Structure 1
């Protein structure tokens, strides 16, 4: 166990732990073979914050699952009823050399099966690009260990941001020293630039109060191109940056109000590629803009369905885009577009709730998040085959990007979940229907108003549950093994059936 890297390692695997799990395990390691009360854990691990005994129990359960420990025959954490918990495994400090020796047996990162996975609600940015800013809480950098094997695997990950708010859409200067990212707080979107060496940061301000971001660095690393928008305006700017000294923004393009697109520099710093739509509710298309001539052209691209073509990535070495786009069946397709010839080719499609493929550092594979809910980064060849797990953690991840050192990747990571409550309109009392540490959503009353149907991820995948209002009993009524994602639930008039709508199916 490495407290600094927040990892739990064995000779065959490395597991990334949540921050609270790290605090809990570190405290156990400092107090082995001691019975520690719940109050003591709340005081030392939660720093005295107001939490329930149930919250402590849930975190203990998560840590046990990380160890694959059995509460009935514990090898790591033993429960003493009405007294507390004891860490019963042997504890010994190891130095850096010992840690390297432990890792030398292999570094394939795996995540144990669990019925209690962290989650956040409404991952609509997978099909609708801009909603993501409200859902993710930090930017994480994955560090890679170079091994003899042809497929590397992640050794550990660490947080790059920890501001009071959500941080999303990172972009790195050519030397890897500065990071531009969006900070989301109090319904304000701000484009920030951070020096990763000294931790200092600066904000790109607009005096008219426009929200700013996302942005992208030029290949020379001396300027940013970014979106500035409000409900009434949509504009793209470039700005020169020396260190953390920010110059005057230069307007390069006005887009329709209600368009919140993505923008990237090409390998030619006088050309940018961006997405825009015709206004709220219309699909996005991809365009190229020549900054010298101000000429704009619509690029060849997949047919427009749902929110259209808003997710794309520039090849690390060539003038080619990788475009992620849903088809009419809502299968996610991955296409290459040659910016020189304007030739579009389909690589592969997946019938899965996924999004936003990027090139790997060599430009020879596609990097994707795992299927919903995503805890992994995956690599596929250009035919959609040879699937490899390159990182797995205990928190949801999204929107991977390459880091500018030819080896590492960056992704967004965070925990957020929805609960279900019931409000008595006469008394004003509020009661809990489902309030686990996972998503519970799409609650719907039966026709006779005696039962509530809903979706829960308590078992690790989206399943249909029902709650009996009279008895308070909750029961899982499905056992699907795939990664389907529900959009709506409805009871039949006689309450014998529940109909469920997923992305491209009715059940």
Structure 2
């Protein structure tokens, strides 16, 4: 199929993911364009959902919903009525067909005097491509196959020592379950079922017990579960202490102990518990230079991979030698983001799941990215003990953006894609919305303008986006942060300016009324501060110490607003907020008042009194994320959240 073709009077530009409908260009998602081009390759032929899916995304677990959503988006872009379709026909229980034969656009031929030079150029490019791909990475994806197929949320997979069984946790509406699956026979055995919150599942060293963490209101405890279903408590801690990870090694139990304090950095320790004497020893403690937060015991149980954060806000991977009790120097550093670690077969390398990408890190510090495996998000990778396989939780997570009037249940759906749409904000005039979406497999920034969703930040390096983009007051710019860089996007000319800032820069939070100063968060000495950054002089001015748990905004008079220690800080004043629970720290300035969400209610505060202005959330809504007026409140919907366990096989050359 050519990169440009016509469907009746509609022009299709495949490379730009665009359709020209009624004289105006409409941008669609890459996956949606993939579906259109495949149907156009076989016009008037009925193609099943599964055939379409496997042809386009062969290494991804089949999802009928993904195909249906692409078809719905295509019909919307083409102005094609599903009840009286002209372009895309639905054949009940059989599939879809494109009922229009595509035609090539007019081609401009090259003058014959340039043909010789063009041939030489093509030969050169071909030789270059062959040379590049002759030195490709040693890792190649063979296939991704499901190990579970339930409609629940399956997570925390872990292979037994011989790799014949897989234990995992299944979360559904009726109960949470600990399950062991015989991989050769395909039979699942439910060992435990209750409403308890199970986390961090691991096999015991004897391969006859499972250990996991149970989270309760004020307590967390480690459970030891025999394969016959017998459960006993091994260790428990009370708040503010928590247990992030537990691993068993014959005589000892290792666990990551965390003390979480509001507005202070988490204090983490790698602990070793003697199962016979109950003696506890601190092996690694968080310090100014390194704070551990992920651990993984090697298959031969002689070393522990440790992922942590440096004082400069970088992810750092190290190895702890169990017998010598020594922590290595850094193997590799990369941008901070959501990361999980495991060991590959025979402990040849450390596998990193970092920002929805997979990496293999050798013990010499050499890192290779494993081929991209699809659009779903991945969690809990666990390496097979003897084979080049990784089991992981392969998730579907979707949220939409909806709008409602104050005091009304009815919603207007603003953004509805196949991924997570969130971190959204109205433009100053309320006619446009900037938001973050994971529809293409990683976080990207879009603008909803005149009914069209425009991609403005592709984020090719897959940096995590933690904060909402910020509009300038004149709506001609958007500010956002990726890694330790600040970006300034010009709406009129689609140009981006990258501001390189010190490594303590964190996020941009708001813009001052002069448009020359930004409210930003910085991380210094393991604490977060709110600061004013001057775009002209390139200088920071410290405003307040927010600690770790932070959100902040500016009111209409540029006063700083944030929550700390159950107190609302509004300019120079403080107000007690202990009467309100479920606060996320976000406040929205409206008519010299602040609006905020407390559980399922919306409250207004004018520095004198609190007023509950709404005692419910609109239909499908779960979280208030911006306010423009009483007529325009924006919410994130309840998430569609499910997951299967999938096995990713890697071939080495």
> Normalising TM by the smaller chain, what interval?
0.5 to 0.7
Deviates more, 1:337-346 or 1:399-408: 399-408
CA-to-aligned-CA distance 1:45-99 (integer Å, 9 cap, x gap): xxxx999976425599xxxxxxxxxxxxxxxxxx9835452699xxxxxxxxxxx
What is aligned with 1:138? none
Measure the CA separation in 1 of the matches of 2:412 and 2:366: 48
CA-to-aligned-CA distance 1:135-178 (integer Å, 9 cap, x gap): xxxxxxxxxxxxxx994534222222233420111122223333
Is 2:191 the counterpart of 1:203?
Answer: yes
1:491 Cα deviation (Å)? 2.4
What is aligned with 1:194? 181
What is aligned with 2:239? 257
Measure the CA separation in 2 of the matches of 1:39 and 1:364: 40
Measure the CA separation in 2 of the matches of 1:224 and 1:342: 25
Contact residue 485 and residue 502 of structure 1 kept, 8 A: yes
1:502 Cα deviation (Å)? 4.2
What is aligned with 2:153? 166
What is aligned with 1:331? 314
Measure the CA separation in 2 of the matches of 1:474 and 1:225: 47
**Alignment equivalent of 2:207, drawn from 214, 217, 221:** 221
Is 2:309 the counterpart of 1:309?
Answer: no
Contact residue 218 and residue 225 of structure 1 kept, 8 A: yes
CA-to-aligned-CA distance 1:263-290 (integer Å, 9 cap, x gap): 1112xx1211111223575443221111
What is aligned with 1:293? 277
Contact residue 303 and residue 327 of structure 1 kept, 8 A: no
What is aligned with 2:87? 81
CA-to-aligned-CA distance 1:460-503 (integer Å, 9 cap, x gap): 654433223xx334333345543222222222334343332445
Which structure dedicates a bigger proportion of its chain to strand? 2
Contact residue 419 and residue 440 of structure 2 kept, 8 A: no
Aligned in 2, Cα 1:200/1:504: closer, same or farther, shift over 3 Å?
same
Is 2:473 the counterpart of 1:487?
Answer: no
Aligned in 2, Cα 1:271/1:492: closer, same or farther, shift over 3 Å?
same
Aligned in 2, Cα 1:218/1:462: closer, same or farther, shift over 3 Å?
closer
Deviates more, 1:253-262 or 1:390-399: 390-399
Measure the CA separation in 2 of the matches of 1:226 and 1:427: 44
Aligned in 2, Cα 1:295/1:494: closer, same or farther, shift over 3 Å?
same
Aligned in 2, Cα 1:332/1:50: closer, same or farther, shift over 3 Å?
closer
Is 2:166 the counterpart of 1:179?
Answer: yes
Is 2:423 the counterpart of 1:442?
Answer: yes
Aligned in 2, Cα 1:402/1:304: closer, same or farther, shift over 3 Å?
farther
Measure the CA separation in 1 of the matches of 2:345 and 2:480: 40
Alignment of 1:400-415 (within 5 A): 400-415=381-396
Contact residue 466 and residue 476 of structure 1 kept, 8 A: yes
Contact residue 303 and residue 320 of structure 2 kept, 8 A: yes
Contact residue 203 and residue 248 of structure 2 kept, 8 A: yes
What is aligned with 2:480? 500
1:295 Cα deviation (Å)? 0.9
What is aligned with 1:365? 349
Contact residue 224 and residue 239 of structure 1 kept, 8 A: yes
What is aligned with 1:96? none
Give the root-mean-square deviation of aligned CA atoms: 4.2
Aligned in 2, Cα 1:482/1:492: closer, same or farther, shift over 3 Å?
same
Contact residue 227 and residue 236 of structure 1 kept, 8 A: yes
What is aligned with 1:141? none
Aligned in 2, Cα 1:330/1:81: closer, same or farther, shift over 3 Å?
same
Aligned in 2, Cα 1:444/1:305: closer, same or farther, shift over 3 Å?
farther
Contact residue 421 and residue 437 of structure 2 kept, 8 A: yes
Task: For residue 157 of structure 1, give the secondary structure of its aligned residue in structure 2.
Answer: strand
What is aligned with 1:422? 403
Aligned in 2, Cα 1:59/1:358: closer, same or farther, shift over 3 Å?
farther
Aligned in 2, Cα 1:500/1:393: closer, same or farther, shift over 3 Å?
closer
Is 2:376 the counterpart of 1:389?
Answer: no
Task: For residue 362 of structure 1, give the secondary structure of its aligned residue in structure 2.
Answer: helix
What is aligned with 1:273? 254
What is aligned with 1:140? none
Measure the CA separation in 2 of the matches of 1:476 and 1:239: 49
Contact residue 283 and residue 304 of structure 1 kept, 8 A: no
What is aligned with 1:36? 46
What is aligned with 2:451? 472
Task: For residue 442 of structure 1, give the secondary structure of its aligned residue in structure 2.
Answer: strand
Larger radius of gyration: 2
Task: For residue 310 of structure 1, give the secondary structure of its aligned residue in structure 2.
Answer: strand
CA-to-aligned-CA distance 1:276-307 (integer Å, 9 cap, x gap): 2235754432211110111111112553799x
Contact residue 182 and residue 214 of structure 1 kept, 8 A: no
What residue ranges of structure 2 are gaps of 5+ in the alignment? Answer: 1-30, 53-63, 76-84, 90-95, 101-135, 488-653
Task: For residue 360 of structure 2, give the secondary structure of its aligned residue in structure 1.
Answer: strand
Q: How many residues align?
A: 386
Aligned in 2, Cα 1:199/1:58: closer, same or farther, shift over 3 Å?
farther
Task: For residue 56 of structure 1, give the secondary structure of its aligned residue in structure 2.
Answer: helix
Measure the CA separation in 2 of the matches of 1:318 and 1:40: 43
Measure the CA separation in 1 of the matches of 2:71 and 2:378: 24
1:198 Cα deviation (Å)? 4.6
Measure the CA separation in 2 of the matches of 1:465 and 1:50: 23
Is 2:335 the counterpart of 1:348?
Answer: no
1:320 Cα deviation (Å)? 0.9
Measure the CA separation in 2 of the matches of 1:286 and 1:405: 27
CA-to-aligned-CA distance 1:353-381 (integer Å, 9 cap, x gap): 35123222232322223x5343xx33232
**Alignment equivalent of 1:56, drawn from 67, 71, 79:** 71
Measure the CA separation in 1 of the matches of 2:393 and 2:299: 20
CA-to-aligned-CA distance 1:293-336 (integer Å, 9 cap, x gap): 11111112553799x53311112224211101122333211011
Measure the CA separation in 2 of the matches of 1:279 and 1:428: 37
Measure the CA separation in 1 of the matches of 2:476 and 2:459: 19
**Alignment equivalent of 1:238, drawn from 215, 218, 224:** 224
